[in-house]
Amino acid sequence: MAHPDLDALVNALIPFAQRMLHDHGEFFPFGASVALDGKVGMAGAATGEEHPSSPELIKLLEEGFRDHARKRTIRALG
């Protein structure tokens, strides 16, 4: 049996990715986190460019998630 936080992340991330693929044929990097109260929040990143590079977006997402982890405001992420 998976951890409930993992289930919550998978239940948020996979349908979103499927919907983006269905509607747009692609998607930019994204993620989700579980806050201390158990609420799942989706996360994306932006550079201000219309077509940003995926590595740049991933770096921004990682920095944001690391910041939340350091501050202990999330308990899981994906």
pLDDT at 69: 95
pLDDT band at 15 (very low <50, low <70, confident <90, very high): very high
In sequence order, which residues have a C-beta less than 8 Å from that of residue 64 and are 6 or more positions away?
A: 43, 45
pLDDT at 42: 97
The answer on pLDDT for 2 being more than 90 is no
- pTM of model > 0.85: yes
Annotate 4-57 with DSSP letters as a single string.
Answer: HHHHHHHHHHHHHHHHHHHHHS----EEEEEETTS-EEEEE---S-SS--HHHH
